[in-house]
Amino acid sequence: MSAHSHDDVRKHLKLYIGVFLALLVGTAITVYAWTWHFESVAVTVTVALFIACIKAFLVAGYFMHLMSERKTIYAILLTTVFFFAGLMYLTVWSRDEMPRGTYWHDHGPHSAKQRIGH
Amino acid sequence: MEIPYTVSPRPDTGLFNAKVGIWLFLASEVMLFGALFSSYILLRVGATAWPHGLLNVPIGTFNTAVLITSSITMVLAWANMKMGNPGRSRLYLGITVLCGFAFLGVKSKEYYDKFVHYEVRLVDGTVMDGHIKPSPDFKINKFKAESGTIVVEAENVLKANPGESMADAKDRLPAKERYHHGHEEREVKASDIRWISNYTPKHSPYFAIYFTLTGLHALHVFGGMIVLGYFWFQNRTMGRTQTERYTNRLEVGGLFWHFVDLVWIFLFPVLYLL
Amino acid sequence: MEASSHAAHLHDVHEAHHEHEMSFWQKYIFSTDHKVIGVQYGVTALLFLLFGFSLMMMMRWQLAYPQQPIPVVGGLLQKMLGAEMVADKILENGAKIPGVMSADLYNAFGAMHGTIMVFLAIVPLAFAAFGNLIVPLQIGAVDMAFPRVNMVSYQSYFIGGAIMLASFFVPGGAARSGWTSYSPLATLADRSHLFNGQTFWIIGMVFLITSSLLGAVNFIATIIQLRAPGMTWMRLPFFVWAQFVTAFLLLLAFPPLEAAAVMQLADNLVGTSFFLPSGLVVSGTPVPVSGGGSPLLWQHLFWFLGHPEVYVLILPGMGMVAEIIANNTRKPIWGYKSLVYSVLAIGFLSFIVWAHHMYLTGMGTKISTFFQTTTMIISIPSVIILTCLFISLWGGSIRFNTPMLFSLAFLPMFGIGGLTGLPLGFNFSDLHLHDTYYVIAHFHYVVAPGTIFALFAGIYYWYPKVTGRFMSEFWGKVHFWLSLIFMNLIFQPMFAQGMAGLNRRMADGGATYAESDSVIGFAPAILKANVGISHAAWLLGVAQLPFIINFFVSIAKGRRVESDNPWGATTLEWQTPTPPPHGNFTKPIEVHRGPYEYSVPGHAADFTPQNAPESLHKA
């Protein structure tokens, strides 16, 4: 049997329902926050992704049993997350570091980073 | 010849084979969607203007709730097998698959809506978007209108500089005003039109990445539904005769399904809200 | 007690009986047995290797004798591919000789040579074929963890390969934008046909990537879950470690390319602009797409796979060489722990070096420096592995059989390949060398007298286990010496050509480039070298004939093995009947010692198998 026995599962039922409700609430909060229409893109992104990460943590941790899973799985996932982060960060960093005029609509001395804030 | 640890776990890892397999597969899927998210970031950061207000948030929220519900019913399907209630399990598994149907149905309607929505940029710099009523001789070739006239049921009409798009024009508005939908009818001749396209992948990088991300996600939903549907039928056969093996299948299938939900948890805010 | 053993006996008899009842299709075509699948992969991959090699031989004709019709196959080529691809040479008397390669055809052959060699030949042979054949045996398992997934894996590879071959015959010809398929060229090279060779290439790649992903999942799960009792991680043969890391590289690096392939397919078929920038003008006409895309995005996603891919090409080979060296020096590999940690480090680092393929894209200095640093760091574990293998020779009783000859040659050849990579890894020197023949020489040294020699070594070494017969030693040695000489004659001059500035992928071999006003100091010898190189390439092709004949004839006529363990090896694949039966082992396996217990002091035999009883000797 895997790490969950008959009784463990019964105890966890309340937890699963709780996570479900938390996910619905999280969704509602995300949409509500969106209705504020922040001017700053940075703030919008931060708020949305922050709540999304919490929801993801709940799904992965409880629905996918990661909280009680074994080292092997963790090792696989941590390795993956590291490379995923590398792919994201390094590609964006390289883009940001381009010399002037690389892109068609390059607006001069401002790098991409500065332009996002409008 | 039997392969060990297909049902009972190996002592030192504490896992049965399929569980290792599905987590490895999910790791590769993280990289797949991760690459697409990276592409989204790069495309958006490199764009002069990024569209807003083109996706229906209430519908997207509904779909999010549908997937979240399907996740809890999936957990309950597995949990009930563990607790010795195969009948209940079958019910919850059925609801999970039905939620999948609902999600895909709503998504299809959303896609269709986009295909009948147009962005029209006029020669004088005006930009409009909305449904169009074309005359019988109206023809579009690549992004040019060749002949005929259209009546645009415009939801937005904005002034822009020559060569600019609706997104450029909306970018100049304060954030709160990017999501208004008005209603104005305008008749336009083909010769007035500088550029016209419906909201398909070729319209802009925005729609290209939207359709690719949600399309790939939808394919995964569809694939998951097929597998879970197969398991639903197996409830009465393998579920009765090899209960532990069947329960493991639900767990492994559930892991895939939760992953699909996880991806949507990020897709929804990124595409609809940001 | 009796009842259960009787039941078990009946079960075994039933199993054996059931096996005899399997049809030809079930046993050989739709098999789920890892050994059969390994052979399927091996034979298919060797055929693709031969095909890719033939493409190169025809390209080398164009480089040595530009605009001359290809002898022998010229007419056939024109019939198969059409007069647009294969032109006629018109003589003074008006006669037409078919077989002149057009520039488009040269580029198509170039792109497909690279694609086929990397994805259809080397990776399937090194990782899938040898991995499937040997890994389950070496860890003491009955099969792979997911046998049916294994079968689907092979079938996906087969379909992908078929699609790639078909691409030669679709309107417009095969893909011709390099094996790297850079946008915008890949999308714009042939806009007159929708389902052109490039589209077929992408669809073929999707099948190949699927095959590799399924295989990778299978290998990792098998190695984690199905090791025999006593087979701890640090008792694994180094070959298994190499395959384990290779599988992780495939698992995590391929998906971004799959995503990119889908996006490039959309660019080609649907008119998106993922990789097409704004303002593109082709032949004076603006390209009617939305623009706003990024060609660099394709490069990032491609090379994110592309770099780990080259480690996929080399690691299984290193693993094989380690096995063969230990066996033929009759002593343990020196530095087992260093080897293991180094291969893990290589795997990890290989994911963060990829932009050293993109130094000339105009990246800023900070990011260039980052990738340069990680590239330099990754050379360290590679050198450690090579050093350990070299030191392993010291004090050994070396048997110079064919597998050992290939393994010995691997060491300096890979060394040359690795060392010549250093100037490419530094961005300042890469400025001069990027996209020249120097690069071609570097990576061919690593893959051709590097990996392919390791694969030959593996074939000669494990052939007796699969067939029960030896390949001919004499012809093996002929094959070895000729291949070694000719490979060096081909690739050594290319370093000089590259340093002189000869660019790669030029259909006329650089002839018009050398005559252009802006090129100075291009010695005629540089271009003349093309002739010598081409001759060496054709002779290399001839040198493979003894190998091909040897391979097939030895199945029926080779010297029979006298035991199940003819090389006197310690690893588990030799402690099983020849060929291994369905289920691999006739009695339960328990491992009591490490993988290289050769010449243990105080022992009668000069080797102790991993599963020999504990009382014999424990380590």
Residue C158 buriedness (CB in 10 A; 0-12 / 13-18 / 19+): middle
pLDDT score at B179: 85
Q: Looking at the predicted structure, is the pLDDT value of residue C1 above 50?
A: no
Statement to judge: residues A74 and A61 lie in one domain: no
- Tell whether the torsion through CA atoms of C79, C85, C91 and C94 is positive or negative: positive
Contact B3 C256 (CB under 8 A): no
Q: Determine the pLDDT at residue B98.
A: 97
Mean predicted confidence (pLDDT) in C221-244: 96
Of all residues in chain C, the percent with pLDDT exceeding 90 is 79
Provide CB contacts within 8 A for A57, sequence distance 6+: none
CB contact under 8 A, B37 and A27: no
Which site among C15, C19, C34, C225 would you substitute to test the B interface, given the most B Cβ atoms closer than 10 Å to its Cβ?
Answer: C225
Option in C256, C348, C364 nearest A98 (CB): C364
For the record, the structure tokens of C26 come out as 């079930």
Count CB pairs under 8 A between chains A and B: 143
Touching subunits for chain C (3+ Cβ pairs under 8 A): A, B
Task: Quote the tokens at residue C56.
Answer: 């190169």
pLDDT in the model for residue A104: 47
Question: With contacts defined as CB-CB under 8 Å, which chain B residues touch A48?
Answer: 269-270, 273-274
In a domain, A28, yes or no: yes
Shared domain for A16 and A52, answered yes or no, is yes
Annotate A72-91 with b (16+ C-beta within 10 A) or e (fewer): bbeebbebbeebbeebbebb
Q: Could you write out the DSSP letters of every residue in C271-323? A: ---SS--TT-EETTEE--S-----HHHHHHHHHHHHHHHHHHHHHHHHHHHHH
Q: What is residue A101's predicted lDDT score, i.e. its pLDDT? A: 54
Q: How many CB atoms lie within 10 A of CB A109?
A: 7
Structure confidence at residue B222 (pLDDT) = 97
Note whether ipTM > 0.90 here.
Answer: yes
Phi, psi of C544 (to 5 degrees): -85, -15
Alpha-carbon gap, residue B142 to B105, rounded angstroms: 30
Considering its fold, how many domains does chain A have in total? 2
Q: Can you tell me the distance from the alpha carbon of C72 to that of B264, in angstroms, rounded to the nearest whole number?
A: 58
Residue A115, in any domain of the structure: yes
Q: Chain A neighbours among B 180-239 (CB < 8 Å)? A: none
State the alpha helices, DSSP H only, in chain A: 6-34, 41-58, 71-96, 112-116
Candidates B29, B72, B80, B83: best to mutate against A (most CBs of A within 10 A) is: B72
**Predicted local distance difference test score (pLDDT) of residue A116:** 41
- Name the minimum distance, in Å, from the CA of B58 to any CA of chain C: 28
Cβ distance of B47 and C225 shorter than 8 Å: no
Mark which residues 246-265 of C lie under 8 Å from A by CB: 248, 252, 256
Residue of C nearest to A105 (CA): C278
Query: Are A84 and A51 found together in one domain?
Result: no
CB contact under 8 A, B3 and C143: yes
Residue C34: pLDDT band (50, 70, 90) is very high
Residues of B in contact with C224 (CB under 8 A): 13, 20
What amino acid is encoded at C432 in this protein? H
Using the predicted structure, report yes or no on whether residue C307 has a pLDDT greater than 60: yes
Q: For the residues A71-100, what does the mean pLDDT come to?
A: 76
Rounded to an integer, the average pLDDT of C71-88 is 90
What is the least distance, in Å, from the CA of A100 to any CA of chain C? 10
Q: What pLDDT sits at residue C215?
A: 97
Instruction: State pLDDT tens for residues C574-594.
Output: 999 999 998 899 888 999 999
A93 with A45, same domain: the answer is: no
Per DSSP, C92 falls in state T
Looking at the structure, tell me whether residues A4 and A47 fall in a common domain: yes
Q: Which residues of A touch C370 (CB under 8 A)?
A: 90
| Chain B residues within an 8 Å CB radius of A38 | 175
Amino acid identity for residue A60 in this structure: A
Distance CA C374, CA C352 (A): 7
Identify the H or E element spanning C99.
strand C96-101
| Cβ contacts of B256 within 8 Å, gap of 6 or more | B22, B25, B26, B224, B227
**pLDDT category of residue A113 using cuts at 50, 70 and 90:** very low
Give the per-residue pLDDT at C334: 95
CB C490 within 8 A of CB C533: yes
Q: How many C-beta atoms surround the C-beta of residue C514 within 10 A?
A: 18
Chain C residue with minimum CA distance to B141:
C288
pLDDT for res C616: 65
In terms of residue numbers, what domain contains A11? 1-69
| Other chains touching A, judged by 3 or more CB pairs under 8 Å | B, C
Task: Note whether residue A91 is domain-resident.
Answer: yes
Architecture of domain C36-231: Up-down Bundle (1.20)
Residues A64 and A77 in one domain: no
**Amino acid of residue C207:** F
Q: C227 and C235 in contact (C-beta within 8 Å)?
A: no
Distance, CA of C170 to CA of C203 (rounded, Å): 14
DSSP letters spanning C148-178? HHHHHHHHHHHHHHHHHHHGGGSTT-B--ST
Query: How far is Cα C38 from Cα C236, in angstroms, rounded to an integer?
Result: 20
Q: Are A6 and A24 part of one and the same domain?
A: yes
> pTM for the complete prediction?
0.92
- Chain C closest-CA separation from residue A63 CA (Å): 23
> What are the boundaries of each domain within chain C?
2-30, 36-231, 404-565
**C290 neighbourhood in chain B, CB within 8 Å:** 143, 197, 202-205, 208
* Per-residue confidence (pLDDT) for residue A93, from 0 to 100: 75
Q: Which of A9-18, C94-103, C333-342 has the highest mean pLDDT?
A: C333-342
Question: Who's near A82: CB < 8 A, 6+ residues apart?
Answer: none
Q: Which of B38, B39, B203 is the best substitution to test chain C (most C C-beta atoms within 10 A)? A: B39
How many residues are present in chain A?
A: 118
Nearest residue of C to residue A87, measured between CA atoms:
C304
Q: In this predicted structure, what is the pLDDT of residue A1?
A: 40
Checking C162-165 for CB contacts under 8 A at 24+ apart, the result is C163/C200, C163/C203, C163/C204, C163/C207, C164/C112, C164/C115, C164/C116, C164/C120, C164/C200, C164/C201, C164/C204, C165/C51
Domain presence at residue A76: yes
CA distance C255 to chain B (A): 5
C376 pLDDT above the threshold of 90: yes
The pLDDT of A42-63, averaged and rounded, is: 89
pLDDT at res. C613: 86
Cβ <8 Å between C364 and A91: no
What lies within 8 Å, CB to CB, of C308 at 6+ separation is C249, C250, C252, C253, C350, C351, C354
Yes or no: say if C582 and C558 are a contact pair by the CB < 8 Å rule: no
> What does the mean pLDDT of chain C come to?
92
A77 and A51 part of one domain:
no
pLDDT > 90? residue C24: no
Q: Are residues A15 and A48 in the same domain?
A: yes
Which spans in C447-571 are helix H? 453-467, 473-500, 511-515, 524-543, 545-557
pLDDT at residue number A99: 56
Query: Which residue of chain A is at minimal alpha-carbon distance from C362?
Result: A98
A84 shares a domain with A40: no
Residues A22 and A9 both lie in one domain = yes
Report pLDDT digits (tens) over C102-143. 999 999 999 999 999 999 999 999 999 999 999 999 999 999
E strands in chain B = 118-122, 126-134, 139-141, 144-147, 149-159, 184-189, 193-198
Contact residues for B80 (Cβ-Cβ < 8 A; gap 6+): B86, B88, B89, B92
The pLDDT value recorded for residue C510 is 81
- Between CA A111 and CA C26 the distance in angstroms is 62
The answer to whether C226 faces chain A, any CB pair under 8 Å, is no
Question: Tens digit of pLDDT per residue, chain B (274 long)?
Answer: 789 999 999 998 889 999 999 999 999 999 999 999 999 998 988 888 899 889 999 999 999 999 999 999 999 999 999 999 999 999 999 999 999 999 999 999 999 999 999 999 999 889 999 999 999 999 998 899 999 999 999 998 999 888 889 998 998 888 888 888 889 999 999 999 999 999 999 999 999 999 999 999 999 999 999 999 999 999 999 999 999 999 999 999 999 999 999 999 999 999 999 8
